[in-house]
Chain A
Amino acid sequence: MKAAHFDYHAPRTLVQALDLLSTLENARVLAGGQSLMPMLNLRLGGFDHLIDLGHVAELSAIEKESGAYKIGAMVRQREIEKFEGFEKNVPLLYQAIRYVGHQQTRNRGTIGGSICHLDPSAELPLVALTMDARLEVASTRGMRQIEFKDFFSSLLSSVLSPDEILTRIYMPVSHERDCCVFLEFSRRPADFAIASVAVVLRLDEHEKIQHLKIGIGGLGPSAVRLYEFEQKFKGQFWSETMLSELQSHIKTLPGEGDLDNTAEYRNTLAQVLVKRALTKAFQMNKNPLYG
């Protein structure tokens, strides 16, 4: 199908974009268009105005600050894929970006668009959650920062006010001893993930767990972190009991199924992926060249 009528606006600066967004009725921000355009074409949503951020150059830069990369919301996914430095400094993002859509959609799709769209099976929100990313948002009223863990409100919706635009993502640099693993399962490469898991693991000199983060995507309306267990396992040696504990916990997580994949199937996949991801992370720790 074709999209219903709308008026297109192409502001050149963030200030112009924010002005348009605060004054136009029923307006929507257009980033890379790889989720919004399909929705418009399928008439799953309709807007009177689209405000294209594609010409707002100030949102397209990647800068390194102390301890974090400041990634403009309009940085294309393909640029992230090729950006030198992420492989070493943000390995989780480096691994995950290859699972995002196809080459043809990553050429247009942006990090900010994917994070705001908040698809339950999307990779970038899971990475942002697991990396404890922070978001910078702007409106004509000013700027504010939001921890990504506080960003989700309900299915496909964030806590952004209607007049706010996501401007930058602060993606922390990983510790050099962090072992980061991103895994997902889909029926075909580049399909939507049925379940996905992100793990960050750091061991101390005695091989005890010093730092652990586990994120799971694809079960419910948003990705989840297993904070309780991340804390609980700190300072301990890894054991098979921990894995059973994690898997028993995952079993209790609420989930939703669809026509193709039942909630139970997604949940089982998440349990398997957690095992695989942790196993791989521990192997990487033993042999940094692994993976």
Chain B
Amino acid sequence: MAKHQIELRVNENTYSRTVDSALNLVDFLRNELGLKGTHIGCEHGVCGACTVLVDQKTVRACLMLAVQAQGMHVQTIESIANADGSLSEIQLKMKEHHGLQCGFCTPGVVMTIKELMAESKGLALSEAQVRTALSGNLCRCTGYQGMVDAALDLINHSLAQ
């Protein structure tokens, strides 16, 4: 089985590793780099638990190979907290609005909201737009209302200031 030398940036660090062809990105992040924050759910692109940002865009890390991330910048849930370890705005809003319960889907949800924040480019979003964006992240605990409220608060409230 072919091996590949890859170099990529994950959060603030650059890593060089040798990977098998068939190793997917989420297994690479968890098992090779020890970044266990990204969860593995269905492994066929349906549940959204493994959602990470690759070059600022959300992707299913179970449907992307580690070797395909060569030269790219991957951002995981570990990059979300402030540098001093305190909760960032997105985490505070998720907490305030009860946007999570068991926490399994949360890393994927947060990464989706992060992309949504960047793409909203300062424009207010409707609840429908937020729900559409979050439709790719399954949550079996919350009924979604909390995370939708958190995203709306985060994106639209900051506009008012």
The answer for the CA separation of A38 and B63 in the assembled complex, in Å, is: 7
B106 near A: Cβ within 8 Å? no
Asked whether A52 and B68 contact (CB < 8 A) given A1-B43, A38-B44, A41-B43, the answer is yes
Interface hits, A38-52 → B, CB 8 Å:
38, 40-42, 50, 52
Of the stretches A100-108, A115-123, A233-241, A247-255, the one at the interface is A100-108
Chain A residue numbers with a CB within 8 Å of B81 are: none
Chain B residue numbers with a CB within 8 Å of A103 are: 58, 112, 115, 132-133, 136
B59 near A: Cβ within 8 Å? yes
The answer for the CA separation of A34 and B2 in the assembled complex, in Å, is: 22
How many B residues are at the interface, by size bracket?
20 to 34
Asked whether A34 and B21 contact (CB < 8 A) given A102-B136, A104-B51, the answer is no
The closest CB in chain B to the CB of A10 belongs to B67
The answer for the CA separation of A107 and B55 in the assembled complex, in Å, is: 11
Q: Chain A 186-200 against B: per-residue CB contact (8 Å), 1 yes, 0 no?
A: 001110000000000
Q: Chain A 50-75 against B: per-residue CB contact (8 Å), 1 yes, 0 no?
A: 10101000000000000000000000
B65 near A: Cβ within 8 Å? yes
Asked whether A2 and B64 contact (CB < 8 A) given A102-B48, A188-B135, A190-B135, the answer is no
Report how many residues on chain A are interfacial, defined by Cβ distance under 8 Å.
30
Q: Are A8 and B21 in touch, CB under 8 angstroms?
A: yes
Interface hits, B104-135 → A, CB 8 Å:
112, 115, 131-133, 135
Asked whether A3 and B24 contact (CB < 8 A) given A104-B58, A105-B45, the answer is yes
The closest CB in chain A to the CB of B108 belongs to A104
B60 near A: Cβ within 8 Å? yes
Asked whether A108 and B63 contact (CB < 8 A) given A2-B27, A38-B44, the answer is yes
Chain A residue numbers with a CB within 8 Å of B63 are: 33-34, 37-38, 41, 105, 108
B residues sitting closer than 8 Å to A (CB atoms) are 1-2, 4, 20-22, 24, 27, 43-46, 48, 51, 57-60, 62-65, 67-68, 112, 115, 131-133, 135-136
